[in-house]
């Protein structure tokens, strides 16, 4: 484990001089603690600050790098969530414990702690079937961090009656995640029909002028419906994480 020693010296001096109390010193100390692996500096105090542990973004990392980061988190009593990985990573980590691979979401999870109590309800909605991989990344992430999730897929505006027949289930949710590509009109439509926060996830689904999801992103950012917030293109993880944070605040859980 590594500390920034100059920062520690300053922190202790503030404590000695009575400028901060022990509780404040502890909070500040938790911002300085990490495990240095050279290629990664693993934030092993993140749960103490944010209630959720550090997550591993798998894309661009070697399997050996992912494994060592995962082992570091496990050694410090943390659950592990790894995004954007394939079955090869799952096979390489299977011996580490309670390991699961979610193929659609491209997520591997490793449970060390008891599963968190499931709270609230997050509805994950897609415009089409092609948006489901991004939606599953959102759904698995939200579930991993303790939210109940319902999935309502392929209810886009091209056949809007499909949305209306599922509307009561969506309205009964605390947070709604909407994943849509192409014209992405579904964000504004859903936002105008529910009283819950709506998280828009633009996807790269679509032909030529959709520009790899840029059109959907612009549609989300230009939504005429208040109460719709936006994450980046295909960022199901970001949406699921944010939804889980909202749920924990709503239910006053630390």
- Among the listed residues 173, 185, 63, the one whose alpha carbon sits nearest the alpha carbon of residue 122: 173
Of all helices (H) and strands (E), which one includes residue 156? Answer: none
* Percentage of residues of the chain with pLDDT beyond 70: 95
pLDDT, tens digit, 9 for 90 and up, residues 161-217? 999 999 999 999 999 999 999 989 999 999 999 999 999 999 999 888 888 999 999
Looking at the DSSP assignment, which residues form a beta bridge with residue 2? 34
Q: Pick the range with the lowest mean pLDDT from 29-43, 76-90, 159-173, 216-230.
A: 29-43
Helix residue ranges per DSSP H, 121-166: 132-144, 161-164
pLDDT reported for residue 194: 95
How far is it, in rounded angstroms, from Cα 82 to Cα 63?
A: 11
105 contacts 139 by C-beta, under 8 angstroms: yes
pLDDT reported for residue 80: 96
Q: Pick the range with the lowest mean pLDDT from 10-14, 57-61, 198-202.
A: 10-14
pLDDT, tens digit, 9 for 90 and up, residues 36-56? 888 998 888 788 778 898 999
The residue ranking higher by pLDDT, 221 or 9, is 221
Ordered by where they begin, the domains of the chain are 19-111 (no CATH), 119-250 (3.40.50.1970)
pLDDT, tens digit, 9 for 90 and up, residues 119-170? 999 999 999 999 999 999 999 999 999 999 999 999 999 999 999 999 999 9
DSSP letters along 180-191, please? E-TT-THHHHHH
Of all helices (H) and strands (E), which one includes residue 90? Answer: helix 87-93
The residue ranking higher by pLDDT, 171 or 22, is 171
pLDDT reported for residue 242: 97
How would you classify residue 65: left for phi > 0, otherwise alpha for psi between -120 and 50, otherwise beta? alpha
pLDDT reported for residue 193: 96
pLDDT reported for residue 22: 85
* Percentage of residues of the chain with pLDDT beyond 90: 71
Return the structure tokens found at 46: 């993140």
pLDDT reported for residue 203: 97
241 contacts 145 by C-beta, under 8 angstroms: yes
pLDDT, tens digit, 9 for 90 and up, residues 238-252? 999 999 999 999 998
Q: Given the structure tokens 């549609």, which residue do they identify?
A: 219
3-state SS of 46-86 is HHHHHCCCCCEECCCCCHHHHHHHHHHHHHCCCCEEEECCC
Q: Given the structure tokens 């991993």, which residue do they identify?
A: 144
């Amino acid at each position: 484990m590594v500390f920034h020693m100059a920062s520690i010296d300053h922190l202790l001096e503030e404590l000695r001089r009575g400028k901060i109390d022990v509780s404040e010193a502890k909070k500040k100390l938790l911002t300085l603690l990490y495990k240095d692996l050279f290629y990664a500096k693993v934030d092993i105090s993140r749960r103490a600050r944010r209630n959720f542990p550090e997550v591993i973004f798998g894309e661009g990392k070697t399997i050996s790098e992912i494994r060592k980061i995962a082992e570091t988190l496990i050694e410090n009593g943390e659950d592990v969530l790894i995004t954007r990985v394939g079955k090869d990573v799952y096979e390489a980590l299977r011996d580490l414990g309670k390991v699961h691979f979610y193929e659609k979401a491209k997520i591997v999870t490793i449970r060390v702690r008891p599963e968190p109590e499931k709270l609230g309800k997050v509805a994950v909605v897609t415009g089409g079937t092609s948006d489901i991989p991004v939606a599953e990344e959102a759904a698995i992430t939200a579930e991993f961090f303790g939210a109940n999730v319902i999935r309502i897929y392929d209810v886009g505006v091209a056949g809007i009656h499909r949305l209306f027949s599922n509307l009561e289930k969506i309205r009964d949710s605390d947070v709604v995640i909407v994943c849509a590509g192409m014209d992405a009109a579904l964000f504004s439509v859903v936002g105008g029909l529910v009283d819950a926060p709506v998280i828009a996830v633009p996807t790269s689904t679509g032909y030529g002028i959709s520009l790899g999801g840029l059109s959907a992103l612009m549609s989300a950012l230009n939504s005429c419906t208040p109460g719709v917030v936006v994450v980046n293109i295909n960022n199901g993880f970001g949406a699921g994480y944010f939804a889980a944070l909202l749920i924990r605040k709503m239910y006053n859980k630390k």
